[in-house]
Amino acid sequence: MPQPIIIALDAMGGDKAPDAVIDGAAFAVQKNPNIKFRIFGDEARVRPLLARHASLANVIFHHTPDSIPGDMKPSAALRQGRNSSMRLAINSVADGNAQGIVSAGNTGALMALARLVLGSLPGIDRPAIVSTVPTMTGRCVMLDMGANLECDADNLVQFAIMGSLYARAALHINEPRIGLLNIGSEEMKGHDELRAAAAILRETPLHGKFIGYVEADQIPHGDVDVVVTDGFTGNITLKTIEGTAKLCANFLKEALQTSFIAKIGALLARGAFMQMKSRMDPRAYNGAMLVGLQGVCVKSHGGTDARGFANAILVAAQLIEEGLNERIKDEFAKLYGALPDAALKSIESDTVL
């Protein structure tokens, strides 16, 4: 029998907490019965929800008096969040009582608390948020999705290395194609830091192939497996994909209601529409890892429902099972000797919050 995977849950984070968290936990164990939970939250609100699921009868529950509001600044969360569900859930990973933590709460606070409590992996200056998006041929890994608004060349190089290992662990792509997001494929295009990162990546031995600059329309087309960008651009790209997918679904719905014949056609093709919709469903891609930390920390979309939250839990379980963080640690240790000076310089400097 495989070892159980213990995941800490912040039951109070997200727009639909604690309901979506607890119901999501129940969905997740249906799919992966190997997962056990430590759940952190307000007893009065969480206990009745736990009682609804027989499969959650054996979770370890910790009452926490506070929770981190969605609009709290990271600095305030660090000062005032000591007894919050989010902080105590992260603490349980640092203490070795859980192997990973999942929260749908305040992203900035989660990143700040996780960096403080867990610390960064050796060689990583700045942890990043990594997620996947749908493409014509499968899925594509993207990072950073919003943790670091501005990134220098070394940050981008580190993201590329972490992203390629993520693609191996989460998507089982052995030789991922790694691209830097830019507004043209020509050498001269883009910000200075992109050109500097490209120069370093061409010299760096990677587990994958650096294919140079990619443009945004190449992502859904499936031309690249790992897209590296700063957190501002990554976040906007992700939200543009989500918004445009909804727009297309909406246009289709409207078009199918314009005539009687179209309505009959829509009825017959209903299964196909559901299939198309599910391939674009953001819930299916929910669960963004804060990669580069000493511990698995997964951020769920704040507005997701129980199905989406369950997916974030399953992502965390998979990354724990695949030993992603150990792989990153090993690879950075191996790469130290092989990295060019510019990347080494920043790796040597200490990480500051």
Nearest residue (CB) to a second copy, 275 versus 349: 275
Residue type (1 letter), 41: G
CA 16 to centroid of chain Cα atoms: 19
Token pair recorded at residue 292: 């580069």
Distance in Å, CB of 239 to a second copy, minimum: 4
Strand order in the sheet with 288-291: 60-63, 35-41, 5-10, 100-103, 296-299, 288-291, 128-134, 139-143, 226-228, 177-181, 209-214
User: Which is nearer to a second copy, 80 or 204 (by Cβ)?
Assistant: 80
Cβ distance to a second copy smaller for residue 51 or 262? 262
Please state, in angstroms and rounded to a whole number, the distance separating the CA atoms of residues 219 and 174: 18
Return the number of the residue (61 or 232) whose C-beta is nearest a second copy: 232
Nearer to a second copy, 255 or 333 (CB): 255
Minimum distance of a second copy from residue 9's CB (angstroms): 24
Shortest spacing between CB 194 and a second copy, in angstroms: 9
Is residue 63 helix, strand or coil? strand
CA distance 326 to 168: 13
The candidate with the shortest Cα–Cα distance to 291, out of 335, 325, 339, is 325
Closest to 15 measured CA to CA, from 131, 107, 128: 107
Closest approach of a second copy to the CB of residue 251, in Å? 5
Question: Which letter does DSSP use for residue 285 in this model?
Answer: G
Under DSSP, the state recorded for 84 is B
Nearer to a second copy by C-beta: 13 or 295? Answer: 13
User: Cis before residue 18, ω within 30 degrees of 0?
Assistant: yes
Nearer to a second copy, 276 or 344 (CB): 276
Alpha helices in the chain (DSSP H): 19-31, 43-50, 74-80, 85-94, 107-118, 153-171, 192-203, 218-221, 231-256, 260-268, 270-280, 306-321, 324-336, 341-348
CA distance 24 to 101: 14
CB closer to a second copy out of 94 and 256: 256
Binding site residues, a second copy, CB under 8 A: 71, 73, 134-136, 146, 149-150, 181, 183, 186, 188, 190-191, 215-221, 231-233, 235-252, 254-256, 258-259, 261-262, 264-273, 275-276, 279-280
Q: Which is nearer to a second copy, 32 or 135 (CB)?
A: 135
Neighbours of 61 (CB within 10 A): 17
Residue 152 Cβ vs a second copy, minimum distance, rounded to whole Å? 15
CB 288 to a second copy: min, Å = 14
Q: Least distance (Å) from a second copy to the CB of residue 13? A: 16
Q: Closest distance between a second copy and the C-beta of residue 159, in Å?
A: 16
- Shortest CB 149 distance to a second copy, Å: 6
Q: State phi, psi for 28 to the nearest 5 degrees.
A: -65, -40
